[in-house]
Structure 1
């Protein structure tokens, strides 16, 4: 039997509306939660109904050191004043050999925050950037 890759990913590739925004070192917040409402049925004190109501999606934040791909993000940000519209995004987890491990498609994506590097000559740190996306569901995209 062949060994199974445990799913370790070194980096993530982000595309928004088909625009490749490059590779990112970290991806945080990808997930959803089904909210439930409790309903206590009269006369049955030992049971509480758990009724699903809505699905809540967390914002996704990707971060990386500054790279030549930062220029792609700058071009994307320059278009925002013309109008923010919901789009689609793909986040792909890549193995060290750049083979795709898995990909998630996000629906109704809006860029809600971009943070650039802080420059402080007193501190010797890697200049980083991060991008935060809000979304309202997953698209059917496989591995």
Structure 2
């Protein structure tokens, strides 16, 4: 066994267009899928062509408790009425000692949803926020 940390207790750092939006506790939905069209060729009943067509990228959602970095997200949200623009993003998985485990670069990122906390007298859990991003591909991260 090599002693390599498998990346347990990971948290995530999010940057959009160079703006550091802080650390996030969870990251869900990062992925892509190649759509496949099936074509049945006449006269060959034992074979079906699997033809790759387009690549789809799933929306990614990051969630965390409210922290001072929430103000950075609020500033970004305040610019949305002036127009939505596509940008780039970096999601970095960090070990507990903040060492980089792995990083993904996302192309043509659009902030599609922000969800704030729910407050109520019967709620005793931490107030959380989440941000959802749509994107159109991965970038090489150097």
Give the alignment's TM-score, normalised by structure 2. 0.96
Q: 2: distance between equivalents of 1:65 and 1:126?
A: 6
Q: 2: distance between equivalents of 1:118 and 1:57?
A: 29
Q: Following TM superposition, by how much is the alpha carbon of 1:133 offset from its aligned partner in structure 2, in angstroms?
A: 0.2
Residue in 2 that maps onto 1:98? 98
Q: Following TM superposition, by how much is the alpha carbon of 1:123 offset from its aligned partner in structure 2, in angstroms?
A: 1.8
Residue in 2 that maps onto 1:76? 76
Q: Following TM superposition, by how much is the alpha carbon of 1:18 offset from its aligned partner in structure 2, in angstroms?
A: 0.3
RMSD: 1.1
Q: Following TM superposition, by how much is the alpha carbon of 1:2 offset from its aligned partner in structure 2, in angstroms?
A: 3.7
**Structure 1 runs of 4+ with >4 Å offset:** none
Q: 1: distance between equivalents of 2:47 and 2:9?
A: 43
Q: Following TM superposition, by how much is the alpha carbon of 1:124 offset from its aligned partner in structure 2, in angstroms?
A: 1.0
Q: 2: distance between equivalents of 1:83 and 1:57?
A: 23
Give the alignment's TM-score, normalised by structure 1. 0.96
Q: 2: distance between equivalents of 1:103 and 1:76?
A: 22
Tell me, what secondary structure is at the counterpart of 1:76? helix
Alignment size in residue pairs? 142
Tell me, what secondary structure is at the counterpart of 1:97? coil
Q: 2: distance between equivalents of 1:49 and 1:103?
A: 35
Residue in 2 that maps onto 1:59? 59
Residue in 2 that maps onto 1:44? 44
